[in-house]
Structure 1
Amino acid sequence: MAGRLEGKIALVTGIGAGIGQGIALRFAREGATVIGCDISEQWAEATVAQAREEGLALSSLHPIDLTKPADVQRYVDHAGAVHGRIDILVNAAAIAPHMTPVAQMDYEREWMPTMVGEVDLVFLAVKAAWPWMTKVGGGSIVNFASVNAFRGSTNTGMVAHCAGKAAVMAMSRQIAVEGGPHGIRCNTIAPGMVQTAATAAAGTSTGEIAERIKARLLIKRLGVPEDIANAALFLASDESTWITGTNLSVDGGVTAV
């Protein structure tokens, strides 16, 4: 099928690379008008240039720091003012969490920045988009949890990351409850290990750690951004209008065993 998001106004954060980039391009290819953002002006411009070459409706406001309320409000209100409404919000931006064991984790320098970078930025974007969505009778919000909302890791210290992603999942259920009367749906995607520049830089999608992860998977490969974009497309589209408050695990089967 083509044009599954035809006529939709979609906000996608973190379009400069990885999952956010994959979702933004996929949504635009399916007919959405996509307004993205990224903290990196260089990366955002590269994504916009790629979309331009394909003739896609994808623009970006950058640089935007999604941990700063004023930046988030400026981004969302820009999109709403230009297009008059917001139909879809995908909180795909990722800020690298601090992977430190609980006994060594510093509260101010590691725990709090991870919570702000994984939980607060989702709350801020949802709050800013809420009046634009209620104005047109609803919309779809897609947030990102993780397999680490369900399980710990023996590969690296993930106490803050596990807590942050579990919080996003719980918060999203409540957003679905509060959004129901307004026609606002909210769901989460919980990816497994996805091959991106960020996970490669962290050493988790290559080498020995990647091999240990693949050994636990039912489908013996790591994920790619397109796997996640496919799931986000379904949850953002009108194909899922009776789905809210739920989580879709896209993880090669790792949480099944």
Structure 2
Amino acid sequence: MFTADQTILVTGASSGIGRAIALECIARGARVLACGRNAQRLEQARQAACAPERWTSIQRDFLTDMKDIPHWVRGLAREHGKLWGLAHAAGEGLMDCLQVYGLERARRHFDINFHVPLLLAQGFCDRRASARGGALLFVASASAVFPEKGHLLYGAAKAALAAAAKSISQEVAPRGVRVHCLSPGIVDTPMEAAAEASMGAEYRQNQLQGYPLGFGRPEDVAVMAAFLLSGQAAWITGQNFVLAGGRY
């Protein structure tokens, strides 16, 4: 699917869906700049890759010095060559509702789940940073499509991201850059385990009733992500693909 001179920046690569996307892209021939907050988990993921020599770990917290993010992406391109793809999987899925709504909480949700991805996109879509034919992929959430209790701010931020991706896709199409959203339903990741721990034992069983094919695995999302990032999806852009096991 990829060649060794095609470099993909993957955020959230230390665990969960981001880790799976990074490993899948490596397995399909790409070089990966794997970004995460936890250096130890990044190293563990690198060692799990089939070709660890094509994995470069980069430690960064995107909520620190957010204004520098576009410049940082351009710097990566100067150091490693133009990027073929960017898969943004870093984020937080904190539970919330109207009763606990507050500006500080709302700003954090929108910073990490909306503003950070757009700043990354701004850097990536710079002609100096990305290669013609490449792709930008946001990992959004099925909560953007199926709003539900407990995901007021998270779902709203991801819905805003999906709408923004559509607009960005039209803006950068003349350059041959494609833009996609993947909106997974519940996937068995450390983030989901934390949600289950906070919501109680019945939460998982109640949620499973709405998933005819059960919950997903990170690898289920990673395979679709790799396809959309690759040249095999050259005629696809501006779409939001919901991966949710038949959720209703």
The corresponding residue for 1:217 is: 211
TM superposition shift of 1:95: 2.4
List aligned pairs for 1:1-257, cutoff 5 A: 4-6=1-3, 7-51=5-49, 54-65=51-62, 68-69=65-66, 72-73=69-70, 75-97=72-94, 99-108=95-104, 110-132=105-127, 136-154=131-149, 157-203=150-196, 207-219=201-213, 221-254=214-247, 257=248
Per-residue CA deviation, residues 40-73 of structure 1 (Å, 9 max, x unaligned), is 222222222333x744511111134255335534
The answer for unaligned runs of 5 or more in structure 2 is: none
Question: Percent identity over the alignment?
Answer: 28
Q: Is the 8 A contact 1:169 1:188 kept in 2?
A: yes
Q: Which has the higher contact order (CA 8 A, sep 6+)?
A: 2
Q: Which residue identity lines up with residue 42 of structure 1 in the other structure?
A: Q
Deviating runs (4+, > 2 A) in structure 1?
48-51, 53-56, 63-75, 132-138, 204-207
Which secondary structure state, in structure 2, belongs to the residue aligned with residue 137 of structure 1?
strand
Deviation at 1:103, TM superposition (A): 2.6
Q: CA deviation at 1:144?
A: 1.7
Return the letter of the residue paired with 1:252.
G
Amino acid at match of 2:100: Q
Answer whether contact 1:64 1:72 (CA < 8 A) is retained: no
Distance 1:228 1:70 in 2: 29
For the 8 Å contact 2:35–2:59, the answer to whether it is kept is: yes
Structure number having the greater strand percentage: 2
- Compared CA separation, residues 50 and 66, structure 1 to 2 (3 A): farther
CA distance in 2, matches of 1:184, 1:206: 43
Could you tell me which runs of 5 or more consecutive residues in structure 1 were left unpaired when the two chains were aligned. Answer: none
Farther off after superposition, 114-123 or 75-84: 75-84
Local SS of the residue matching 1:89: strand
> For residue 167 of structure 2, what is the amino acid of its counterpart?
Q
Task: Give me the CA root mean square deviation.
Answer: 2.1
Quick one: structure 1 residues 136 and 198, their matched pair in 2 at CA, closer, same or farther if it must change by over 3 Å?
Answer: closer
TM-score of the pair, normalised by structure 2: 0.91
Find the aligned partners of 1:133 and 1:251 in 2 and give their Cα distance: 36
From the superposition, tell whether residues 163 and 131 of structure 1 become closer, same or farther in structure 2 (CA, over 3 Å).
same
Distance verdict in 2 for CA 1:50–1:100, change over 3 Å? same
Q: In the aligned structure 2, how far is the partner of 1:193 from the partner of 1:15?
A: 18
Q: How many residues end up aligned between the 2 structures? A: 246
